[in-house]
Structure 1
Amino acid sequence: IPRSLEGLENRDNYTFIQGDVCNPQLVNHIFITENIDVIFHLAAKTHVESSFEIPSVFQRVNVDGTRVLLDAAHRARHQPQRFVYVSTDEVYGTSLDEAFDEDCPLRPTNPYAATKAAAEYLVRSYWDKYQFPIIITRSNNIYGPRQFTEKVIPRFLTLLQNNNKCTIQGTLAMSRHFLFVSDAVQAFLLVLEKGTVGDVYNVGTSVEIPIVQLARELVRMVKNVAESEVNDWIEFVSSRPQVDLRYPIRSEKLQRLGWRAETSWAEGIRQTVSLLRQ
């Protein structure tokens, strides 16, 4: 059992089933043997750099896996009441000035984002054709304790703890909006409770951090070096084919349901660093 699930195994209302979302026999069996009311579909390959190297794997997991799950859920004897598909702000593509709302066109610029957009169209088709009760969310970069080490914050932290430099692909202008995991969870639960079926909800914050600033903050927290030495722990490396500068999104639609991000950047990054040190 993954460390993030420790402490759950003894709960009566919890069952952990390990398997492949692309395996129709397994997924169908689960829907036959369990009465599933709600599905949060978060299964995905998400590392953008890897999506350029193995796009077929991203296609299989992100698109075919979504199709398998949708089909099994739609055909289930016990019909689910909600199917929440967790997508990404990257489906909009990059923007230097405009903040995207849910009606903006999708213009993904990397294979990962393209597969997430394709999966969105699949999900939406089940609403259009069958009135299957789907909801789609598009969120900023989610971060927090126990995040997988391929993501930028745990990657930088791991490099620094091993006395290696933070390596940055792209330029000084690159930034990301960061959403703490507990705020993301509250957004997903609110969408489940109050969201309109067939609709899309952006889940974003105003916390936009340049990646080089992120690296500097983590160097200060982990290495305790003099300010004049902070940049010595940062290195720019050759960029992958496409590095988007930023993904600004508007979340007024979700905010009208009552959602607000409650965790400050300072508190979120403190919790993240603290747990990794343990």
Structure 2
Amino acid sequence: MANHQPKNILITGAAGFIASHVANRLIRNYSEYRIIVLDKLDYCSNLKNLDASLSSPNFKFVKGDICSARLVNYLLDTESIDTIMHFAAQTHVDNSFSNSFDFIKNNVYGTCVLLEACKTFGQVRRFIHVSTDEVYGETDENAVVGNDENSQLLPTNPYSASKAGAEMLVLAYGRSYGLPVIITRGNNVYGTHQFPEKLIPKFILLAMKGRHLPIQGDGSNIRSYLYCEDVAEAFDIILHRGEVGHVYNIGTDEERRVVDVARDICRLFSLNPDAVIKFVENRPFNDQRYFLDTQKLKILGWSERTAWEDGLRLTAEWYMRNPDWWGDVSGALLPHPRMLSMPRIKKEKNFGVGTLESSYVLNDCGQDGQDRITYLKNSITGHKSRL
């Protein structure tokens, strides 16, 4: 079992759902670590997800794109990054059917930019690449043993294909250049701070409004769900104990049909499932089941802590307290959302924090093709500011 002690950690996509929980946990539990987070603040990211960390002297937020090699190289050099936890990705399967190019660009090319930077500077001692259980493809509905880390990759949609492609790059850089890579493949994650294009937060917000819960297909598709804090703990353990060159599944043995998830949410809000649940047209291909073998991660000392009923209740309570966390999400609540076709937000909203050590803002490349980087030193000190 490895014993990695990082000093300067770069977390990509850290204003998103899972990565924000990981970043907040590391800031909370390891005061000696410096956490530098990189996020371009896409539609499914929110700087408020990092409120718990913004006042920490060991926290630094960088607004920028992993596809900018110049920015990534600059950060690895100036911040002496020794560990990368790579979460940044396009992840919504529905969107991948209509806009696969963005998935290839972000998930494959963006990963390659990070790997090239690691190869160039030679100082990174851990590169943890976050992938998905969907790379295994569909699990036979009669299978009693889940996919282990050596199972064949058989992705069935553009999203999972892009993640499998990124994995191949990560493994190749590990073998060709000796980069210290680790890959994780996880089940579905649910909990607080998740953008409501995903099934559970979408259904919770719709139930709060007393609206229909749209299920693609007949609802028989089987999924496994892990609570966000349990997943953050898994990444904590993999960061410190994971072996270089290995893959780790992050999952649960409990499986649920999508229609049963909807019924459980109906019960939380005292709604009649027969009246509220509505079956709609299925996506182009919808894997029937994903099932993981997680013994390898359990050997490192991880186990699921949060029962489904408790996690779902905590999640629903959070959304009831924070119904406007994401602003106008009407597009995400449609039966078949296409969020990537929505107008991009040009400015971030005001936010209040304590003290932010420093921030970078990377604008998109202009017509001259040059990245424009603005460095804001000690820009936020206990008052509202605008990036």
TM-score bracket relative to the smaller structure = over 0.9
Which amino acid in the other structure matches residue 277 of structure 1?
Answer: M
Which residue identity is paired with 2:131?
A: S
Amino acid at match of 1:26: L
Per the alignment, residue 280 of structure 2 pairs with 237
Give the aligned partner of residue 174 of structure 1.
Answer: 221
Question: Scaled by the length of structure 1, what TM-score is found?
Answer: 0.95
Letter in structure 1 aligned against 2:133: D
Structure 1 window deviating more from structure 2 (85-94 vs 170-179): it is: 170-179
Aligned partner of 1:276 among 282, 295, 319: 319
Letter in 1 for 2:217: G
Q: Deviation string for 1:215-248 (max 9, x for gaps)?
A: 11111212x23xxx32211011011110011100
Structure 1 residues 1-278: aligned runs within 5 Å: 2-76=47-121, 79-95=123-139, 96-98=141-143, 99-222=146-269, 224-225=270-271, 229-278=272-321
In the alignment, the residues of structure 2 paired with residue 73 and residue 171 of structure 1 have an alpha-carbon distance, to the nearest angstrom, of: 46
- Aligned partner of residue 224 in structure 2, secondary structure: strand
Q: TM-score, normalised by structure 2?
A: 0.69
Partner of 1:12: helix, strand, or coil?
coil
User: How far apart, in 1, do the equivalents of 2:198 and 2:241 lie?
Assistant: 31
Amino acid at match of 1:67: C
- Provide the secondary structure at the position in 1 that maps to 2:53: coil
More off after superposition, 268-277 vs 6-15: 6-15
AA aligned to 1:140 is N
Instruction: State the aligned residue count.
Output: 273
1:16 is paired with a residue whose SS is strand
Cα RMSD of the aligned pairs, angstroms, is 1.2
Shift of 1:256: 1.1
Identity %: 42
Q: Is the 8 A contact 1:204 1:251 kept in 2?
A: yes
- Give 2:108's aligned amino acid: V
CA distance, structure 2, for counterparts of residue 37 and residue 24 of structure 1: 17
CA distance in 1, matches of 2:125, 2:310: 35
| Structure 1: distance between partners of 2:315 and 2:254 | 16
In structure 2, runs of 5+ residues without a counterpart are 1-45, 322-387
1:191-211 CA distance string (max 9 Å, x none): 121111011011110121111
Q: Where is the strand percentage greater, Structure 1 or Structure 2?
A: 2
- Considering fraction of residues, name the structure with more helix: 1
Question: Secondary structure of 1:104's match?
Answer: coil
